[in-house]
Structure 1
Amino acid sequence: MSSQPFLASSPFSPTTARRKKSRFTYKHLSTLAHSATNCPLRVIAHIDLDAFYAQCETVRLGIDPTIPLAVQQWQGLIAINYPARAFGLNRHVTITEAREKCPEIICQHVATWKEGDVKWSYAEDAFKEIAVRKVSLDPYRIQSRRILALIKECLPKELQRVEKASIDEVFVDLSAQVHSILLERFPELQGPAPYDDPTEPLPRPPTSALDWAADALVDLDSTHSEEDDPDWDDICTLIASEIVRDVRKAIYAELHYTCSAGISRNKMLAKLGSAHKKPNSQTVIRNRAVQHFLSSFKFTKIRNLGGKLGDEIVAAFNTDSVSELLPVPIEQLKKQLGDDTGSWLYSVLRGEDNSEVNPRTQIKSMLSAKSFRPSINSFEVACKWLRIFVADIFSRLVEEGVLENKRRPKTINLHHRQGAQTRSKQAPISLGKQITEDALFESAKNLLAQVVVDGRAWPCANLSLSVGGFEDGVTNNKGIGGFLVRGDEAKALNAGNAFGRQDSGEQRRMETPPPSKKRRVGESGGSGISRFFGAYARQESADSEVGREAEAEAEGEAMFPEQEAQQDAGDDSEEGEDADADTHNKRHDGAEEAAGDDEPADPLAPPPSAQPPGPPALSSPPEPESEPAWLFDTMQPSSGPSPDDVHHGNRTNNDDDDDDDDDGDGNNASGSGIDSYLCDRCTKPIPLVDKAEHDDFHFAQSLQQEQQASSPGPVRPPPKPVPPAKAAGSASAGKRGRGRPPATLGPERGQKRLAFG
C-alpha cells in the first residue's frame, strides 16, 4: 500500500480538482512486473469451481444444470449442487431426508473399486456393497487436470503464475500480465522515470470512469467515494478482472463448468471474494474497499483462523467479529497470543497478506485408504484390500506418466490402525526397475506382513497405502543396443578402424619419440638449498666423482653409457655433503632397482660393470659413447672449461629435467666455453647468463655453513619408526629404558654402506 493516506473527495469539496500525480511511483510499477509480494499494485485472482463434484456428475450424465443433484457416498452426501441447496439441503443430511425435502433430486453414487477390477466404475447398488467396495475420486481428479490445463492455455506462458490450491481451487498471480497490458494501453508509462529517480510519482490515469461490466463490486470504505478519480491500482484491478472473465468464459465454453472468482491485492482477500457471491460470478475488492469488506466478516471464516486458533481468539476477546477486533491495539494482541501470532493477526484483520503464489502444480504423494465397518480380522482379507489400493494408485501413476518415466515415486508407505494404535511401515521403491502393479502389491504385502509380525494386528479398523517422494524420471537414456552397429555397417566400421589403427601406429612410431623418464627426487635428498641449486651443488662434488670414476676405470669397472643412464634414473641418493662419500656405491644400488626385477641381487653374479651392456632404456634416447676421463686432458682446449666441468655438464644435462636446451638438440650449451666467466670462489667457468643465480648459490651456501657452525651438531633427519615385529625381536630394544626413542634402521653417523661385488 502507499504510504500516503487516501484523500476523500466529492463534487462539492475543494479537493475535486484533479491531482496531477499518482500515489504510486515508478518503483511500484517496476515491482509489479516481477510479481513482488509487497507491491501495492499487485493483483491476485482465486478461481473456485461451483459444487465441483456435483458439476462433474451433471456434465457426465448430460442433464440440465438446473435439476437438483447430489453426489452420494454410501448413505451420505458429499456434494450438492445449487438448485438442490435451494431446498435447504446440505452435506449433513441423509439420503432419506434429502428425498423428503426434494423428491426430484438425483442422487448419484461416486465411482468405486471392487476386487478384481482393472478400473473404477459406477454401480447403481454400490451403496449396498460397502464391505467389498472402495470409493474412487479419479473422475474428479481427471476433470480438475483438464480445467487447470485450460486455465494455463488462456494465460501467456512466460508471464503466468498458477497455483493449484485443491482439486477445485486455483490461485493466479496476474501482476506480470497486467503490467504488460498496462504498458500497451498507456504508452506514457513506458518511458524512464523523471530524473532517473524511481521514487518519482507516476502521472495520473487519463480516465475518470471505469467500466466493471458484470463484476460484483464491493462498496468502498467510508472515507472514499465513487466520485473520486481512479488511480493505477484501480486500473490494474480492472485489467485483471477482464482476464479472469475471459478465463471463466473459456472454461464454460469448452468444458461446461461454471466457476466463481475473487480479485484483490493478495491471496487471502481473493479467496474470500470468490465465495462472496456464488455461483458463477466474480467479486472485485479494490484497495479502497478492503476495510469495508472485512468489517462484515467473522474472522473465523478467514483461512487459518477457523480451528483452534480461532477458538482461542474468541475465548480471549469474547467476539468473533473482525470489526470488533480492529480497535484492539497490537500490544494487547501480542500479550494474549504471543508476539508472532499477535502481529500476524493484527495484519490479517487489516487485509495484509504477503504469501506468494506458488506455481507448484505437481502432486507430492498418492493415497488410497479404507475404513472398515465392521473391522477385518485376517491377513487374507487385508491383502484383498491392498490389491484394490494398488490398482487405484497405479492407475493414477499411469496418468502421472510413470510408464513414460516422466515422474515416479521413491517410497511406499502402509498405515495400519487397530483400535487406538496406529502403526506405519515404509519401504523404498527400486529405481532400477520399472514400476508395475504386481511389484507394488508385493511391496505392500511385505509391509503388512511386518505389521503382523509386530503383533496385535487384528481387528483392523483402517488401512491405507500411499506412495510419495515423487521425482522426475531420467529421460533420453539409450540401451546398450543403441551403442552397437550390426551387419554391413559394422564390417565397414571395422575395416576403417583397422586401416586407421595401422596408419596411426606407423605415424606414431615415426613422429612420437619415446617418453623420457623423469628423475624422482629422493625423500631424503639433502637440504632445501642444495635441492634448489641442484646444478651448482653437483658442480661442487664433480671433481671427487670424476676422480672416483677414473679409479674405477683403471680397475676395470668403467660404466657403459646404458648402465649410467639406468643408474641415473634409479638414483635416490642424498645430495647433501654427508652423502658424497658413498655416492658411487648408492649409484650401483640404484642401477639394481632400475632393473625392475623385484628380486634380490645374486651375490655370486659379477658386478654390473663387468656384465655385458644391455639394451638402452626405452624411456630415454641413446647417448653418444662417452670417452674415458683421461682423454679430456688431450681433447679439451686450453681456453675452455676443465675436463671435470665438461663431464659434469653432460651428466647434469642427463639428470635434470629442468635444464635449458638452447640448441634444441637435447644438449645444453652451457659447457661450451662461450660467454662464460671464471668464478673466484669455486674457480670454475660459469655461463654469463647464470652469473646471478650462481652468486645466489654461493651466498645461500655461506648462510648454510654459518648455521651449521653455530648449531650444536649436524641436523639429522627424523628417525624412522621401527616395525613392531622387528622391535620386539631386537635384543637391544628390551634393554632400553622408558621414554627412549626407538632404534632407527639406517646407518649411524660415520658408517658407510659396503659395496658388495
Structure 2
Amino acid sequence: MPPTSPLKHASRKEKSKFTPHAEFTDLNLPITYRHLHSSPPSARDSLRVIALCDSDAFYAACEQVRLGIDPSRPLVVRQWDALIAVNYPARAFGITRMSNWRDAVKKCPELIVVHVATYKEGDEAPSYCDNPDTATHKVSLDYYRRESAKIISIFKEGLPEGEIEKASIDEAFIDFTRPVRAELLARYPYLSQVPADAPHGLDTALPPPPQMSLGKHGILIPVDPPPEDSDSAHKAGEYVNADEEDRPRTWHDVALAIAAELMDKIRADVRTQLGYTTSAGIARNKFLAKLTASYKKRDSQSILRNAAIPNYLIPMPFQKIRFLGGKFGQAIADTFEASTVGDLLFIDIDEMQQKFGEDSIWVYEILRGIDRSEVKEKPAMTKSMMASKNLPRPINKFSEGPHWLRVLAAELALRINEAREADQSIWPKTIVLHARPRNEASRSKQTSFPFARTVTVDTIAGFAERLWKDLVGSGNKEDGSLPHSITHVALGFSGVEPGEAGQQSIEGFFQPRTSTGDPPPADRKRRRVAVEDSAGASVDPSGTPQIDRGEKTMIAFVCPRCHQRIELESTDDAHSDGEALSRLQTEHSDFHMAEDLSKMAGHNDGNVGGGSVKIRAVEKLHSTRTKRKKQPPELPEDGIAKFFARK
C-alpha cells in the first residue's frame, strides 16, 4: 500500500497552519540597478522575460496556405489513416488528432482532407497523392520543416538581440530579457544612471514603476480568478477582475508588457508575410511560458505576471506539467495521493527526496514556478540527416531492399542539396545504414562519403546498396531469402558540416588561382596544371566551370598551399573517383609534409636540399602509408637529413 498524503490525514490545526501561497517566496524580490545593468543576464535575473510562440494547427495551416484555402473552411492533414493536424473550424465538429480520417468525413462532409506529401521509388522530390500506399510510399515532412524555418527567420529579423530556441517544428522559446532591458532604458532614461544619493549604490532598488496598461498587447491571466463553481467562473481570456488594471505595478510587470508588445509585432509579421497565425505565452521562465501559451489558443497571446503565478498553478493537475506525466507522474500521484500542484506543495523536500531521489529537487522547484533552464539557440544546420521507414511489409529477401533504399536516398538527396544551396562547402563525412530485424536490436553499417561535384539519388543509392550487402548479406543462394525479416530501415548522413578553412566544394577547384610551387611525381593518369592555364575550361549556363580534355573527363582539386590544380582522369564511377581523388590529395599533402621536413633538415645541415630529396620523401611517405603492416624505419642517430638522403 502506498503511503498516504500527509495533508490528507493532517490534523485541522496542522492544515490551518499550511498556506500554499506561502510556498511562493520569490514573487516580489526587489529589482535593483545591478539587475538592470549587469551583463549578461543570468537565469536568476529578476527581470527575466521568456515567451513561447506556438504556430496554430501548423501542418493544417501550411496546407491551407499552399492550396490557397480560406482559413474558415474545415481542413485536416492525414498521414495514412490517422489525422495529424486539425484546424480550428474542423475541431468545431468534434474532430480530433489521431482520429480516423473516414470517421472525420462522416462528422463533417465538407471536410477538406489533405494527405502529407510522400516519396515513392523513382521520385526525386515528394509529391501529393490522394491515397498513397504505405507498402510503396514514404511520408515526407520536408515542406513543414521549410515553412518552420521561415517562421524562425522572421523571429530573428524582428528580434536580433534576443535568444531563440526552436523547441519543435511549430514551437520556439524566445528570451526577451536583453531587448526588454534596452527598451526599458530607452523609455525610462532616468534608470540609466545610479543616482548619486542611492543608499546602496548598484544594489539600490529601482524607483517605483509607472502605472502603465498591461493588457494592451495580450490577455492578462487574473491574479484572483473566481471560484470555478461560481456564476462568474471565467473562460480563458473572457474574465478579468475589475481591479486587474488598478493593481500596483512592478518593474517585472513593465518588462512583461514590453515583451508582449515586441511579441505582438513579430506575430503580426508572421501573419502578414507567411499567412500563419500563432499563439504565445509570456512569463518569467520557460516552464511558465509553455503553460501560459495554452491559456487561450488561436491567434492570441497571454501574459502571466508573478502575482498571478500561485492561483494559476495551485489548482492545476500536476500531471499536465511536462515531464510529470506518464509513469513518473503516476508514481508521485500514487505515493502522495495527490492530483494537483497544491496537493504536492505540502510535501517537504526531504520527504520527496527519500522517495524519488535527486529528481525531487527539480520537481520541488517546478511546483513553485521556478525554472532556471536557459533559452539556447540551436545550430541552424543539423550535423546529421536521417530518412527512415517502418515497413508495413517486412523485407524477407535481399532483392527487396534496394526499392526502399532508393526511396530513402531521394529524401536525403533533396535535404543535402537544399542545405548546400546556402553553403556549397557543406558535405557529409559518413553515410550510415540501419536495419532492424524483427524482435531484435537494430544493426548498422557505415562508410565514408567522398566529396564530389554533385550528389544525386543514384550516388546515395549506390553507397546504400553496398552497405545493404555488407549488413544483411546476399541472402540464401537459391531464392535470396534473408535469415531475419527486416521491419525497419533508415539511411542517414553524419558529420554534415561546412568544410574547414581552405577546403572547397568541387566547383571551387576549377576557379583560377596564382600558380606557385614544384610539381609532384609524374603519373600516367594524373597531371599537375598551373591554375591560371584556363585552356580547355568552359562555363555552362549555371555558371559552373567545366573541364574538357578532348574525350577525357577530368576530376581535380586545388591545393590550398601551392594553389596548383591536380587533375585525375575520371572513371565515371562516383565512388571510385572519390576514393582516387582522396588518395591523390593525401599523396599531395605528403609531398608538402616532406618538403617541410626537408627544409627543417636543410636548416640544420646545409648539405641537404634539392628536388630529389622531395621526390624521395613523397615516395617514402606514400610507401609507409600504403604498407601499414611495416613499421617506419628508425631515424639514424646523426639526424633526419640522412633519412631523406639517397643511398
Deviations 1:463-494 (A, max 9, x none): 11122233232366464851237589xxxxxx
Is the CA contact (8 Å cut-off) linking 1:221 and 1:291 kept in structure 2?
Answer: no
- Would you say 1:459 and 2:485 are equivalent positions? yes
If each structure's helix is expressed as a fraction of its own residues, which one has the higher value?
A: 1
Match of 2:378 among 354, 357, 360: 360
CA distance in 2, matches of 1:117, 1:417: 25
Instruction: Decide whether aligned partners of structure 1 residues 407 and 315 sit closer, same or farther in structure 2, where only a CA change above 3 A counts.
Output: farther
**Amino acid of the structure 2 residue aligned with 1:228:** R
TM-score normalized with structure 1 length: 0.58
Deviations 1:653-712 (A, max 9, x none): xxxxxxxxxxxxxxxxxxxxxxxxxxxxxxxxxxxxxxxxxxxxxxxxxxxxxxxxxxxx
After TM superposition, list the pairs within 5 Å mapping 1:630-649 onto structure 2. Answer: none
CA distance in 2, matches of 1:113, 1:23: 58
Is the CA contact (8 Å cut-off) linking 2:446 and 2:467 kept in structure 1?
Answer: yes
**SS of 1:422 mapped into structure 2:** coil
Is the CA contact (8 Å cut-off) linking 2:27 and 2:306 kept in structure 1?
Answer: no
Match of 1:133 among 108, 131, 137: 137
Aligned to 1:115: 121
**Amino acid of the structure 1 residue aligned with 2:139:** V
- Would you say 1:161 and 2:192 are equivalent positions? no
Aligned to 2:174: 172
Aligned to 1:442: 462
CA distance in 2, matches of 1:96, 1:310: 35
Is the CA contact (8 Å cut-off) linking 2:50 and 2:283 kept in structure 1?
Answer: yes
Aligned to 1:346: 364
**SS of 2:513 mapped into structure 1:** helix
CA distance in 2, matches of 1:44, 1:486: 56
Is the CA contact (8 Å cut-off) linking 1:402 and 1:435 kept in structure 2?
Answer: no
After TM superposition, list the pairs within 5 Å mapping 1:742-757 onto structure 2. Answer: none
After TM superposition, list the pairs within 5 Å mapping 1:644-663 onto structure 2. Answer: none
**SS of 1:243 mapped into structure 2:** helix
Deviations 1:556-588 (A, max 9, x none): xxxxxxxxxxxxxxxxxxxxxxxxxxxxxxxxx
Aligned to 2:188: 186
Is the CA contact (8 Å cut-off) linking 1:209 and 1:229 kept in structure 2?
Answer: no
Match of 1:68 among 59, 74, 84: 74
Instruction: Decide whether aligned partners of structure 1 residues 471 and 133 sit closer, same or farther in structure 2, where only a CA change above 3 A counts.
Output: same
Deviations 1:195-232 (A, max 9, x none): 67221111111x2242421511111169x974432011
TM-score normalized with structure 2 length: 0.68
Task: Give the C-alpha shift of residue 40 in structure 1.
Answer: 1.4
Match of 1:384 among 392, 403, 408: 403
Aligned to 1:219: 222
Identical-pair percentage: 37
Is the CA contact (8 Å cut-off) linking 1:68 and 1:83 kept in structure 2?
Answer: yes
Is the CA contact (8 Å cut-off) linking 2:211 and 2:248 kept in structure 1?
Answer: yes
CA distance in 2, matches of 1:49, 1:203: 38
CA distance in 2, matches of 1:79, 1:103: 17
Instruction: Decide whether aligned partners of structure 1 residues 289 and 487 sit closer, same or farther in structure 2, where only a CA change above 3 A counts.
Output: closer
**Amino acid of the structure 1 residue aligned with 2:514:** F
CA distance in 2, matches of 1:202, 1:377: 73
CA distance in 1, matches of 2:85, 2:103: 15
After TM superposition, list the pairs within 5 Å mapping 1:47-446 onto structure 2. Answer: 47-126=53-132, 129-155=133-159, 157=160, 159-192=161-194, 194=198, 197-205=201-209, 207-220=210-223, 226=244, 227-338=246-357, 340-362=358-380, 363-401=382-420, 404-430=423-449, 432-434=451-453, 436-437=455-456, 438-446=458-466
Is the CA contact (8 Å cut-off) linking 1:365 and 1:469 kept in structure 2?
Answer: yes
RMSD (CA atoms): 2.9
Match of 1:483 among 471, 495, 514: 514
- Would you say 1:469 and 2:495 are equivalent positions? yes
Task: Give the C-alpha shift of residue 414 in structure 1.
Answer: 1.9
CA distance in 2, matches of 1:330, 1:4: 15
User: Where does structure 1 lack aligned partners over 5 or more consecutive residues?
Assistant: 8-21, 489-519, 521-594, 597-757
**SS of 1:409 mapped into structure 2:** coil
Task: Give the C-alpha shift of residue 146 in structure 1.
Answer: 1.0
**SS of 1:374 mapped into structure 2:** strand
CA distance in 2, matches of 1:426, 1:298: 46
Task: Give the C-alpha shift of residue 429 in structure 1.
Answer: 3.0
**SS of 1:405 mapped into structure 2:** coil
**SS of 1:276 mapped into structure 2:** coil
Is the CA contact (8 Å cut-off) linking 1:417 and 1:423 kept in structure 2?
Answer: yes
Is the CA contact (8 Å cut-off) linking 1:23 and 1:231 kept in structure 2?
Answer: no
Task: Give the C-alpha shift of residue 323 in structure 1.
Answer: 1.6
CA distance in 2, matches of 1:123, 1:352: 48
Aligned to 1:44: 50
Is the CA contact (8 Å cut-off) linking 2:423 and 2:498 kept in structure 1?
Answer: no
Task: Give the C-alpha shift of residue 435 in structure 1.
Answer: 6.1
**Amino acid of the structure 2 residue aligned with 1:460:** I
CA distance in 2, matches of 1:460, 1:262: 45
Q: State the structure with more CA Rg.
A: 1
Deviations 1:93-126 (A, max 9, x none): 2122111111111111111101111111112232
Deviations 1:8-60 (A, max 9, x none): xxxxxxxxxxxxxx9211121124x5231110110001100011001111111
- Would you say 1:30 and 2:34 are equivalent positions? no
**SS of 1:447 mapped into structure 2:** helix
Deviations 1:697-729 (A, max 9, x none): xxxxxxxxxxxxxxxxxxxxxxxxxxxxxxxxx
Is the CA contact (8 Å cut-off) linking 1:77 and 1:91 kept in structure 2?
Answer: yes
Choose between structure 1 and 2 for higher RCO, CA contacts under 8 A separated by at least 6 residues.
2
Deviations 1:303-331 (A, max 9, x none): 22223321221221222311211111111
CA distance in 1, matches of 2:175, 2:57: 24
